[in-house]
Chain A
């Protein structure tokens, strides 16, 4: 049981909803109790969608339990099919329905609907939203893109390959699917694909500190099993349309290479804008986009995925598994660089050119292109940006955005990374590897309280995180910009604001610099600390009024962790020293206080004077 104040991800069925809501012509029937419909408002309110998500909930109640919840599911499924006439359906259970074991897959099979019905097994007590989205997208792709291959031989094969019952897990109560162990190294052979770009990157002069492409696995994936499509007598409609995919091996007359863009969903952080930006970028280098999925894709579009030459994976958390299946099935390579930031966008272009078999752009042009297309390089070199140098930044988010932010922060803003973490446990390895390279402690946690403690300890000047880190930063009085889901309504801006590509780099520049106190203002604050209006307890002057909340962590009566009870033995601060301490900028004051106390303790000093403070400063600055 995990004590959770905020959760970074929703349950896995919300991930499935993100895929279903992104698509056209798909309807999801979810076996769920009253109240689970709250998820609709994520889409209609937070993302401000103008339609209800294509989801029908069975809404069972306590009095239904043990009687006719299965019949309720079947009736709901039939009604939903008749009312919405989807081209394909998803069926599954939310956390509570998982416990009552009604077998939506079997019930859906028995219903004999004339469209493909894709059963989703999303273990709610083990997995979370991104895993659910990845699994759903994978099942959708596998079912609808399989085409006329022998994979769908008409048998109603359940998706769950329950062969892992033997994994030695403790016995589970009814309704809990057996733990699907973390399958390390599944698809490891496919990692040769990422390596293709590596040489080229070095050749391209990308600094050695750059972060390698994501190699995360979605653990617990039942790869290699048969697609879970339920075929019933009349279920040939989409199968027919997928036969078009048989033409995939036929030579196309296209002079231009084609790719699919995989990963964008509903409720994604800037997904729609990222797609627009990357589509434009690809067009500019002579590559056409065949299908974008799941965002705005119909079942017919999914059936055409195999026609493209390669796949662009924008969000590995969501599309990584499907991309690997597409590589195995259709031999489509996929991109491994996520184009966030100028450098990564250039690397992405190089990788895409290679996958598309386009000639490599001349070195000069390549290096120059980023500067011309994004303002970030020049803005960052502009002298007024000097004050950004070495600012301590704490990065936390999903793995894709956290890794990208770490690279951009260090290489393109000149910040110093003081913390790097993710809630995406599936990508822990990537984050650990990156953290080692940056010389920081990796933080792999989905516990908000742990993240809060890590930020408080790292004393950053800027937090790049999620909506949750915005809370932490607000409490600690630290500037913050949001770089990753989960986000709130204000992070669905009206204007075009991608994170990816060259325009995305401009957006990063604006949104990361904005929360900071500007250079000269910072100097003046340092010089005249006691000014009654312009002091460091005030917020940056361009951000309007309001006072910082608890500028110093130890000021805020943090009642939390027993470790913090050493205060009683700490040496006493003389008033004069205490006042002097207040003249140190707020973002390092906590650290200065701790260092000085440590310094005094080690030397057996019972009192801290101004002298002690400066002795300690000199000691630690060595």
Chain B
């Protein structure tokens, strides 16, 4: 099914994506590892706790990334491996058990504990799946203990969420019902989730689950009758795990911007056989509102050039939205990893002017950015201030994960994130 073809009133670019060239680079990557996903996941699943099994570096990353040092009592911690843990693995397992027991005593409210693997735990081959099974025996049924890897040698930034959700999939109950159900996959802000739930209800799709759930005990069921819709573009492993449970993916672009949201919802509507009139009735008002919200930003942003450094894998959907709905001009669109199948609908909509790159050699990419001098460079926290000091305007990419940006009601907020740095530049006289 082609989301683009189903979209009313949207011009589809004549040139397809299939053969679009991609610059692949490897070298220094200025991106976070998958552990960083814990920063939002620990807020999303309110009775879950994330225990990184790693080094002091991991602990330091967790408290430094995204300025989370401001939270007084986070629902994550690190079991920091020390030399004596590396001396013998049996010892490391006992130490891990002790750390978990201290943690569960301290936080009796925990219902789900993720043991999160890191670079060092993987290099020394500490088997966290066995540890999780062992600890589950001790703490079940009060606490369910799962594991996944957020290591930098395996994952980039948002892939941590992918691995976390993939680890949840085997724990999901089996869907009993024969009737098809919809599962929305990917952490969304609660407010966005509620909006989508209302929209699906209005479209006549009543049986909707969300993964991850807000509470560990509210795991949505899954089975062959489940059709899932990815809300985030970085969920390759999770999709694979869901497909193994018999669920089928509804291909769609991602719900960013008015157009993206309509196409995303329409994909679900078509899959569930929603009457087109009913679909329009359910979505038209919100879509029109989103377009109105975007209008003033279009005036500010149209024609401005945009350069994406790789960060969250949201780059391609964002580039699509910013170019098609706000008229921004794309230069390089970098992504840490390009999942061609899940992004097929996005790539079809992406203007040809965008040159795609995958992976990173940060110094070379910086040289390209300096040459292109984009009006806005979207980049991580390590690069933003140095680029600002060079006179480039930047948008920190991490804010795109910490802000509700999906759906109709957030389309204007998303645009404002890009307009604000430019607005600021024009205000300042110092």
Q: What residues make up the interface of A, taking CB atoms closer than 8 Å to B?
A: 1-7, 9-11, 13-14, 33-42, 44-46, 48-52, 56-62, 65, 76, 79, 83, 94-96, 99-100, 123-126, 128, 169-173, 176, 179, 449, 467, 471, 474-475, 486, 488-489, 559-562
Contact = CB atoms under 8 A, between A and B. Distances in A.
Contact of A44 (B73, B106, B385): B385
Residue among B83, B92, B99 with max Cβ neighbours from chain A (10 Å): B83
A41 B64 contact: yes
Contacts of B81: 1, 125
Nearest to B156: A34
Nearest to B95: A1
Interface in B62-95: 63-65, 67, 69-70, 72-74, 77-88, 92, 95
B19 interface: no
Residue among B79, B92, B153, B388 with max Cβ neighbours from chain A (10 Å): B153
A561 B105 CA distance: 7
Contact of A34 (B29, B78, B85): B29
B28 A37 contact: yes
Contact of B386 (A37, A51, A176, A179): A51
A7 B69 contact: no
Given A33-B153, A42-B64, A488-B67, A471 B56 contact: no
Contacts of B78: 3-4, 7
Given A95-B55, A559-B108, A474 B72 contact: yes
Interface stretch (B119-127, B135-143, B163-171, B181-189): B119-127
B235 interface: no
Contacts of A38: 32-33, 36, 60-61, 64-65, 382
B215 interface: no
Contact of B33 (A3, A35, A560): A35
B366 to A, nearest CB: 9
B55 A11 contact: yes
Given A35-B152, A52-B383, A170-B87, A3 B28 contact: no
18 contacts: A5-B77, A11-B55, A35-B31, A35-B61, A36-B152, A38-B61, A40-B30, A41-B65, A50-B386, A59-B28, A60-B153, A96-B153, A123-B83, A125-B55, A172-B86, A559-B109, A560-B105, A560-B106
A33 B33 contact: yes
A96 B386 contact: no
A11 B77 contact: no
B120 A10 contact: no
Contact of B27 (A59, A65, A475): A59
B57 A10 contact: yes
Contacts of B363: 56, 79, 83
Given A37-B31, A65-B153, A128 B56 contact: yes
Nearest to A100: B123
Contacts of B385: 44-45, 48-50
A58 B26 CA distance: 10
Nearest to A471: B72
A62 B381 CA distance: 25
Given A37-B29, A38-B64, A471-B72, A4 B79 contact: yes
Given A34-B31, A96-B153, A125-B55, A52 B382 contact: yes
Contacts of A96: 55, 57, 119-120, 123, 152-153
Given A51-B389, A170-B88, A1 B153 contact: no
B15 interface: no
Contacts of A14: 57, 60
Interface of B: 26-36, 53, 55-57, 59-61, 63-65, 67, 69-70, 72-74, 77-88, 92, 95-96, 98-99, 102-103, 105-109, 119-120, 122-124, 151-154, 156, 363, 380-386, 388-389
B82 A2 contact: yes
Contacts of B85: 1, 125
Contacts of A124: 55-57
Contact of A125 (B34, B83, B380): B83
Contacts of B95: 1
A561 B102 CA distance: 9
Given A83-B363, A171-B87, A34 B152 contact: yes
A46 B63 CA distance: 12
A176 B363 CA distance: 32
A369 to B, nearest CB: 38
B337 to A, nearest CB: 11
A33 B119 contact: yes
A172 B87 contact: yes
Given A7-B80, A59-B29, A1 B119 contact: no
B87 A173 contact: yes
Q: Is the interface of B mostly helix, strand, loop or mixed?
A: helix
B382 A50 contact: no
A95 B54 CA distance: 10
Contacts of A170: 84, 87-88
Contacts of A59: 26-29
Contact of A62 (B70, B84, B153, B380): B153
Contacts of A51: 386, 389
A126 B86 CA distance: 11
A283 to B, nearest CB: 31
B102 A3 contact: yes
Given A34-B152, A37-B29, A51-B389, A44 B383 contact: yes
A176 B83 contact: yes
Residue among A9, A44, A46, A58 with max Cβ neighbours from chain B (10 Å): A44
A100 B125 CA distance: 12
Contacts of A48: 385
Given A45-B67, A45-B381, A35 B72 contact: no
B121 to A, nearest CB: 10
Nearest to A172: B87
Contacts of B107: 559
Given A33-B151, A173-B87, A99 B120 contact: yes
A50 B382 CA distance: 10
B118 to A, nearest CB: 8
A62 B119 CA distance: 9
B77 A65 contact: no
Nearest to A467: B69
Nearest to A60: B153
Contacts of A123: 83
Contacts of B109: 559
Nearest to B69: A488
Residue among B55, B99, B107, B384 with max Cβ neighbours from chain A (10 Å): B55
Given A99-B123, A124-B55, A3 B61 contact: no
Shortest beta-carbon contacts, A-B, top 10: A35-B33, A35-B152, A40-B382, A50-B389, A1-B95, A96-B119, A95-B55, A41-B381, A10-B60, A34-B152
A440 to B, nearest CB: 25
Contacts of B33: 33-36, 38
A422 B35 CA distance: 29
A44 B153 contact: no
A1 B55 contact: no
Contacts of A65: 123, 153
